[in-house]
Structure 1
Amino acid sequence: MSLRPTLESRKAVPTMEGAGVRLHRAFGFQDPSELDPFLLFDDFRNDNPQDYMAGFPWHPHRGIETITYVLSGSVEHSDSLGNSGTLGAGDVQWMTAGSGILHQEMPKGSTGGQMHGFQLWGNLPSGQKMSAPRYQDVQSADIPEVTDDDGTTVRVIVGTFWGRTGPVDGIAADPQYLDISIPAGVKKTFSIDTYRRAFAYIFAGEAAFADASRPIGVLLEKEVAGQEVNIRDMSGDRTLIRFGTGDEITVQAGPEGVRFLLISGAPIDEPVAWHGPIVMNTQAELQQAFRELRNGTFIRPAH
């Protein structure tokens, strides 16, 4: 087994999207090859309804998939195909925009006003960019959750992990999307197929991710539940960790434990022409999409 090196650790950056939703962006609108097949990742989390209630009014997508995972509050959605519904706490929506869709997403807070969720954009290969749009709405109760002997818990949203398979299927990038909670002081190793690009996103607690050149515990500064850990390597809330090539990662949870997403997928390795919510392979395809938006032919009739 080979340990994946930590290529980069960086904080998500505050930004504003939609009609005035304040959120934190871990990556997006930069080098699309960096985390291919993933293009963008947003953490929309706020206790103030004024910072999210305006939501994401009607807007187009083509050539990508959007993955929305709600932790608290809810998101009401509707689209140009006549679909509508509400995502509640723990629910997931995997939308394949394909040839094109217009939709809106309107966050609603919990009873106490809290709203928290994530949106990930996945690219589509050229052969599927003009496929028919598709939705997969998954309720929280249908997402398998498995707990190990040391208290580590994993929600398997997509892919197969520890013998359980997530409910979302038929995704181009063959992704794995895991929501992992590790108790305080526990050191844990997770396998990831070598061919996948992978990243972690911490959203509660803190942890250190081992690196082959700097294993956890080499520089002892503190003991956490009896485990050696270099606290200078600890990463906390809203931190993205981007991994290099290998087939496993090792995580040391901090003194309050850690919860993070571990996401990986097969790179597409194709040219990317990207403007706003539309991602194609060439500038000509991109220009065509915006022409169709202007002349009203963007939405293709169902076959």
Structure 2
Amino acid sequence: MADLQHPRRVERLATGQPASDGAGVKLTRLLTQDLQQRLDPFLMLDNFASDDPDDYGAGFPDHPHRGFETVTYMIEGRMRHRDSAGNEGLLGNGGVQWMTAGRGLVHSEMPQQEHGRMEGFQLWLNLPARDKLCEPWYRDIASDEIPRFTTPEGVAVRVIAGESHGVAGAVQREATQPIYLDLHFRAGGALFHQALPAGHNAFLCVYRGEVAVPDEAGQATPVARGRMAILGREGDGVLLQGTAGSEPARALLIAGKPLREPIAQYGPFVMNTREQLLQAVQDFQGGRLR
């Protein structure tokens, strides 16, 4: 069991729902609104992956956000960000765009390619009530700026946020303490363990191959490509194993400290009360989201 005494089990498997967003970009919504309380502080996880420019070419034109953070991880492709606070950046292969909407801004995310594959994930991370009207913040993190390491078993780990095996990630957050890892298992399988703080909610999203999650009794739950495994709350961490198939497995492991605050959402606004949502809509319509 490596350094873990009580590895978490898979509580349930979830299947993503086909959806579209922006100007008709086709995607799969893995973390849906009905899971927000269970996976607090995470609000949404979308996966976009297509070789067809008709699926992604129109992109995400100007739209507002308030009250949370967006984390966009580009597996393959090029996307340009512009926002009303004057930020602009090009997100490329393996890069991350981390944006704190805070009190609000308007931004766009537009593909910078007319052919080829566009693949990535966007995660919505909630902000605590005290920070929902904070100043917006933005950072582009190039692929080579993301800390990484390889375990003795051969699992390559990219540490986007939090900490893994003594390696600090590119981003740290005090309130929600997110852990965001991209795990690459070599063909034939290898074991990986990650300690998780007590009480943190956690889930696994497999986007290549298959990953097994052994529990304390040694029973392993396979998680296939395109599935999301919600991990139980009990235990000191998680064990993961790439399966013995010919395709190397890849997966995102995400965990965070729950805020345990009311969630009120209306589209791109996430606040704590209905009154705050109404104010957000009024501010947007009145041009007060900079």
Task: State the TM-score, normalizing by the size of structure 2.
Answer: 0.93
- Three-state SS of the structure 2 residue aligned to 1:30 is helix
Aligned counterpart for 2:222 among listed residues 234, 237, 242: 234
How far, CA to CA, are the matches of 1:139 and 1:19 in structure 2?
26
How far, CA to CA, are the matches of 1:32 and 1:244 in structure 2?
15
Matched, 1:90 2:94: yes
- Three-state SS of the structure 2 residue aligned to 1:4 is coil
Match for residue 167 of structure 2?
164
Q: Deviations over 1:26-62 (max 9, x none)?
A: 0122242110000000001110011101011100000
How far, CA to CA, are the matches of 2:35 and 2:56 in structure 1?
28
Matched, 1:244 2:232: yes
How far, CA to CA, are the matches of 1:213 and 1:162 in structure 2?
24
How far, CA to CA, are the matches of 1:214 and 1:169 in structure 2?
33
- The alpha carbon displacement at 1:213 in A equals 5.6
Aligned counterpart for 1:292 among listed residues 278, 283, 289: 283
How far, CA to CA, are the matches of 1:134 and 1:172 in structure 2?
16
Match for residue 242 of structure 2?
253
Q: Deviations over 1:148-184 (max 9, x none)?
A: 1221110011112112111223453111110011222
Matched, 1:140 2:114: no
Matched, 1:178 2:181: yes
The code of the aligned residue for 2:278 comes to: Q
Matched, 1:35 2:23: no
Structure 2 gap ranges (5+)? none
Aligned counterpart for 2:213 among listed residues 172, 192, 209: 209
How far, CA to CA, are the matches of 1:109 and 1:146 in structure 2?
31
The farther-off stretch of 272-281 and 1-10 is 1-10
Match for residue 220 of structure 1?
none
Matched, 1:47 2:51: yes
- Three-state SS of the structure 1 residue aligned to 2:282 is helix
Structure 1 gap ranges (5+)? 217-232
How far, CA to CA, are the matches of 1:89 and 1:240 in structure 2?
23
The code of the aligned residue for 1:67 comes to: V
Match for residue 128 of structure 2?
125
Q: Is the 8 A contact 2:164 2:194 kept in 1?
A: no
Task: State the TM-score, normalizing by the size of structure 1.
Answer: 0.89
- The alpha carbon displacement at 1:109 in A equals 4.1
Q: Is the 8 A contact 1:138 1:168 kept in 2?
A: no
How far, CA to CA, are the matches of 2:104 and 2:261 in structure 1?
20
Q: Deviations over 1:44-85 (max 9, x none)?
A: 111001110101110000000000000111111101111111
Q: Is the 8 A contact 2:193 2:239 kept in 1?
A: yes
The code of the aligned residue for 1:173 comes to: T
Q: Is the 8 A contact 2:30 2:45 kept in 1?
A: yes
Matched, 1:61 2:50: no
- The alpha carbon displacement at 1:293 in A equals 1.4
The code of the aligned residue for 2:129 comes to: S
Matched, 1:102 2:90: no
- Percent identity reads 41
- The alpha carbon displacement at 1:209 in A equals 1.1
- The alpha carbon displacement at 1:268 in A equals 0.3
How far, CA to CA, are the matches of 2:32 and 2:252 in structure 1?
17
Match for residue 196 of structure 1?
200
